[in-house]
Amino acid sequence: MTSFGARLDAALDARGSTCVGIDPHPALLAAWGLPDGIGGLARFAETCAAAFGPTAAVVKPQSAFFEAYGAAGIAVLEDTVRACRAAGALVLLDAKRGDIGTTMAAYARAYLAPDAPLAVDAITLSPYLGVGSLEPAFELCAQYGTGAFVLALTSNPEGPQVQHARADGDQVVAQLVIEALAERNAGAVPLGSLGAVVGATIGAAPVRLDALNGPFLVPGIGAQGGTADDVRRIFGAALRNVVPSVSRAVLRHGPDVDTLRTAVEAQNATFAFLRG
């Protein structure tokens, strides 16, 4: 079994560093000339899978935009995940799950067990019931070679109220999240399978990032104002492990498949320094 961290490291070398979001919100469906309904959702998702599955290292469907259409939307999400994985992309489902006990274990099975209908390569998780509450997901990651990206320093303006709060020992909460993940990633080669979400718009990072030994998913680039220079400044020695996450900056070029692929190539070129 190859770990998610090892598969991600190889994919970033082979396909470039960009993680491409699949965010079928109604305004974007309209911009693509598609109806706001299950038919439009399916057309959008099929186009994204065709454009990104064979070319992007990581594809990140936003689960909420599919869930909004009910069971039929979840069926489209399942098809999208399968198509992207079959074409060679790693699929990171952006669902931001976080709970305790048997409920967290059920969320973990739903996405990280290989026989699940929505099995993906990795999922986003929220640690704000305590990082330890996510242990069922971490256990399945280790068991099945899947991965997780845990919210640490997010790109939304409300985040610092919690993430910068001081805990026992005067460390900020985000630092405790990073350290808990680093402990679980210790000794992994070439890269741990537990990553952190750290936005490109956070300003001066109030934490030490270099000990994670895992990937950083970096939203906030493009439409939210984050730049390649911000990435350089924030991550320093950990740049090789950065996975820039872009959605609107690529999706606005749709619905033509070739044009979408060209937009991914442009993002890869912008962030070529990460693997250089």
Catalytic residues: 96
Torsion, CA 220, CA 223, CA 227, CA 230, rounded to 10: -40
- Contact (Cβ atoms closer than 8 angstroms) between residue 155 and residue 200: yes
Residues 6 or more apart from 258 whose CB is under 8 A from it? none
CB-based burial label for 179 (10 Å; 0-12, 13-18, 19+): middle
What six digits make up the tokens of 88?
């060679």
* Strands of the chain, DSSP E: 19-22, 58-61, 90-97, 122-125, 147-153, 194-198, 216-218, 242-246
Residue 98 DSSP SS3: coil
Distances (CA, A) of 142 to 1, 7, 39, 88: 10, 14, 38, 21
Residue 199 DSSP SS3: coil
Which residue in this structure is represented by tokens 């060209």?
A: 262
Residues 262, 148, 184: CA angle, nearest 5 degrees = 135
145: left (phi over 0), alpha (psi -120 to 50) or beta: left
Cα separation, 147 vs 202, whole angstroms: 24
